[in-house]
Amino acid sequence: MTQIIFITADEQEHVLEADSGSLMELAVANNIAGIDGDCGGVCSCATCHVHIAPEDKARVGEASEIEADMLELAENVTENSRLCCQIAISDKLEGIRVTVAEG
């Protein structure tokens, strides 16, 4: 099981575990506030916007071109922004910290 830490707008840390699926599915399954995933995880709605902790960015990897374009739809975009439906859970993500973007 891979541990993922979600930080919500109220600054609460939620330590979750999974070994497959996307970060978005994990967040929705655990009712993480601010992650809606309205489109079901096909990178079409930008309602699963998170900021990856800078030290974890290299492990998570870059957004695809489509995802980067979709991020333009989101508010509070930074260089650490990702749509978490596009991040697949695997061992290499052990312990990463992601903050739910506001807005």
Partner 1 sequence: MSGNTCVIVGASHGGVNCAFELRKQGFDGDIVLIDKDPQLPYHRPPLSKAFLLGGDPTALQPLKAQSAYAQSDIDLKLGVEVESLDVSAKQVVTSEGAIDYDSVVLATGATPFIPPISGLSEAKNSFVLRDANDATDILAAVQNTENTINHVVVVGAGYIGLEAAASLSKLGAKVTVVEREQRILQRVASEPLSTFMTHKHKANGIEIVCQKTVSAVKTSEANQLVVLDDGTELKADMIIVGVGVRVNTELAQASGIETLPQGIVVDAHMKTSISNIYAVGDCTVFPHPTLGDKCHIESVQNAVGQARIVAQTITGKVSTYDEQPWFWSDQFDAKLQSVGLPKDADNILVREEGDNALSVWHFDGEALVCVEAINAPKAYVLGGRWIAKKVLIDKEKLTDVNVAIKDCVL
Residues at the site binding partner 1, with contacts judged by CB under 8 A: 25, 28-31, 38-45, 66, 69-70, 72-73
Q: Which residues pair with 17 in a beta bridge?
A: 3
Q: Which is nearer to partner 1, 50 or 71 (CB)?
A: 71
CB of 99 to partner 1, least distance (A): 20
Contacts 24+ apart (CB under 8 A), 55-62: 56/93, 56/96, 56/97, 56/98, 59/92, 59/93, 59/96, 60/87, 60/93, 60/96, 61/87
Q: Which is nearer to partner 1, 7 or 39 (CB)?
A: 39
Is the C-alpha dihedral spanning 59, 30, 83, 102 positive or negative?
negative
CB of 14 to partner 1, least distance (A): 12
CB of 31 to partner 1, least distance (A): 4
Q: Which is nearer to partner 1, 28 or 96 (CB)?
A: 28
